[in-house]
């Protein structure tokens, strides 16, 4: 299943509709700020300090809340709070694992399994589980900018908004 959504500018708090391949809204992604001063500071610092997002389902229920861990001495990191449809709430830390180079690389744990996110410079970003691709994500270079998300493994359908939220938070906010 393929999902798409439009990017707004880096500082916009307008929510973007996540649409599936049948053009149905399946959720929303939105940048958030805890107060107006944070938004002004983010604008002055070119959007590199405050990268918080919310992903909601089509009914408006919060599914993923991503908060950037703000520290100047450590690598880029985020804390995602994920609420499944059954009400189970999980916290998922995501920490930058790349040493040098242009590609992006990180990992995270979900339900006792280790996943890895890898994004080469030009190709699709992937989330893999034991070497098998679970999901893919890329942005378009055309205007208006859009993101495309492909769920490669239907057994992860219940976590589609989480996987999309991880890609968006980690790759769009850099």
Q: What is the pLDDT of residues 127-162, one digit of tens each?
A: 999 999 999 999 887 788 899 999 999 999 999 999
Q: Are 55 and 161 in contact (CB under 8 A)?
A: yes
Pairing of strands 62-68, 77-83: antiparallel
Q: Please state the pTM of the whole predicted model.
A: 0.89
pLDDT of residue 97 exceeding 80, the answer is: no
Placement of tokens 């998922």 in the chain? 92
Please state the domain extents for the chain: 2-172
Q: Where are the alpha helices (DSSP H) in 7-118?
A: 36-44
Q: Are 10 and 47 in contact (CB under 8 A)?
A: yes
What is the C-alpha separation between 46 and 88, in angstroms, rounded? 36
pLDDT tier, 40 (very low <50, low <70, confident <90, very high otherwise): confident
Q: What is the DSSP letter of 145?
A: P
Q: Which has the higher per-residue pLDDT, 55 or 39?
A: 55
pLDDT tier, 100 (very low <50, low <70, confident <90, very high otherwise): low
Q: DSSP 3-state assignment of 156?
A: helix
């Amino acid at each position: 299943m393929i999902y798409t959504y439009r990017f707004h500018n880096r500082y916009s708090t307008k929510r973007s509709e996540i649409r599936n391949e049948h053009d149905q809204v399946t959720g929303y992604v939105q940048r958030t700020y805890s107060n107006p001063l944070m938004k002004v500071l983010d604008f002055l610092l070119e959007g590199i300090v405050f990268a918080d997002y919310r992903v909601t389902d089509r009914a408006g229920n919060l599914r993923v809340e991503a908060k950037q861990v703000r520290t100047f001495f450590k690598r880029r990191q985020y804390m995602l709070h994920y609420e499944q449809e059954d009400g189970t709430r999980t916290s998922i830390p995501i920490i930058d694992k790349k040493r040098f180079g242009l590609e992006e690389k990180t990992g995270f744990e979900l339900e006792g399994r280790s996943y890895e996110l890898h994004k080469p410079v030009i190709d699709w970003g992937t989330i893999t589980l034991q070497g098998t691709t679970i999901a893919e994500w890329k942005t378009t270079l055309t205007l208006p900018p859009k993101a495309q998300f492909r769920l490669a493994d239907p057994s992860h359908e219940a976590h589609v908004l989480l996987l999309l939220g991880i890609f968006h938070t980690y790759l769009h906010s850099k």
